[in-house]
């Protein structure tokens, strides 16, 4: 089963990105999504190669945002695809059964479609407003997570759900009580000066008394 904490990388340059990824890994994060928007193919490739190398050193999962061709080229562990990105079925045809394919959802219907198309996990959001992503979908809040998870249970639908968007440490317990599998965060980890403490606290709240 997938780890419950995914770090989505930030940084305007390859150096900043690698620094942030390295810090997340060094402080206990073992799933990285490389998110490097509006960059040249060459810079995305350079970052992906270096970040994959780092993740291998830390035995962490490494997936790439948006770019299926790049994920295939560097043999990443998978991709994350949004509602406007390549279709999950097409990505599966390219990457094969063993790679992780995550999909973004904002509604129960999105989740149902993703499951039908064979996605491995869902990033369901935004939980609340965040400046990390432009053009956010409607904000969900705790109540929508509760109702969407309840509807999934009613219809016997199972897929790991990750809450995303403006999540803070103090949100994690309530979010986990809705029945989600984990969280995906970016700004929270990037901006925190005490990353070891933060990631330890996040993992305590995410895993509770689950034995791993």
Ligand X SMILES: Cc1ncc(COP(=O)(O)OP(=O)(O)O)c(N)n1
Q: Which residues bind ligand X (CB under 6 A)?
A: 6, 8, 33, 35, 65-66, 80, 82-83, 85, 102, 104, 123, 125, 133, 162, 164, 184
- Least Å distance, CB 199 to ligand 3NM, is 14
Q: 149: helix, coil or strand?
A: helix
Annotated binding-site residue? 130: yes
SS3 content of the chain, % helix, strand, coil (to 5): 45, 15, 40
Annotated binding-site residue? 178: no
Specify the stretch interacting with Mg ion by CB under 5 A; choose among 75-83, 179-187, 189-197, 202-210.
75-83
64/77 Cα distance (integer angstroms):
8
- Least Å distance, CB 105 to ligand 3NM, is 8
208/104 Cα distance (integer angstroms):
26
Q: At what angle do helices 195-207 and 14-26 cross, to 10 degrees?
A: 60
Identity of the residue, 101 or 164, whose beta carbon is nearer to ligand X in the bound complex: 164
Annotated binding-site residue? 166: yes
- Least Å distance, CB 164 to ligand 3NM, is 5
26/195 Cα distance (integer angstroms):
9
111/121 Cα distance (integer angstroms):
9
Contact 199, 189 (CB under 8 A): yes
Identity of the residue, 75 or 192, whose beta carbon is nearer to ligand 3NM in the bound complex: 192
Identity of the residue, 38 or 156, whose beta carbon is nearer to ligand 3NM in the bound complex: 38
Task: List binding-site positions.
Answer: 33-37, 65-66, 85, 104, 130-133, 166
């Amino acid at each position: 089963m997938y780890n419950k904490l995914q770090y989505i990388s930030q940084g305007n340059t390859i150096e900043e990105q690698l620094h942030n990824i390295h810090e997340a890994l060094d402080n206990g994060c073992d799933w990285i999504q490389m998110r490097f928007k509006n960059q040249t193919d060459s810079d995305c490739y350079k970052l992906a190669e270096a970040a994959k190398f780092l993740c291998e050193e830390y035995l962490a999962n490494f997936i790439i945002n948006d770019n299926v061709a790049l994920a295939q080229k560097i043999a990443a562990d998978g991709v994350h695809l949004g509602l406007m990105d390549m279709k999950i079925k097409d990505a599966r045809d390219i990457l094969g059964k063993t790679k992780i394919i995550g999909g973004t959802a904002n509604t129960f219907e999105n989740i149902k479609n993703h499951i039908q198309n064979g996605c491995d996990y869902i990033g369901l959001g935004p939980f609340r407003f965040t400046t990390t992503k432009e053009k956010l979908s409607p904000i969900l809040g705790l109540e929508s997570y509760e109702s969407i998870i309840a509807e999934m249970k009613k219809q016997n639908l199972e897929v790991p759900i990750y809450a995303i968007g403006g999540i803070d440490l103090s949100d994690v317990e309530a979010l986990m009580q809705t029945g989600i599998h984990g969280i995906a965060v970016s700004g929270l980890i990037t901006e925190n000066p005490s990353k070891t403490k933060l990631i330890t606290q996040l993992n305590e709240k995410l895993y509770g008394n689950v034995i791993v």
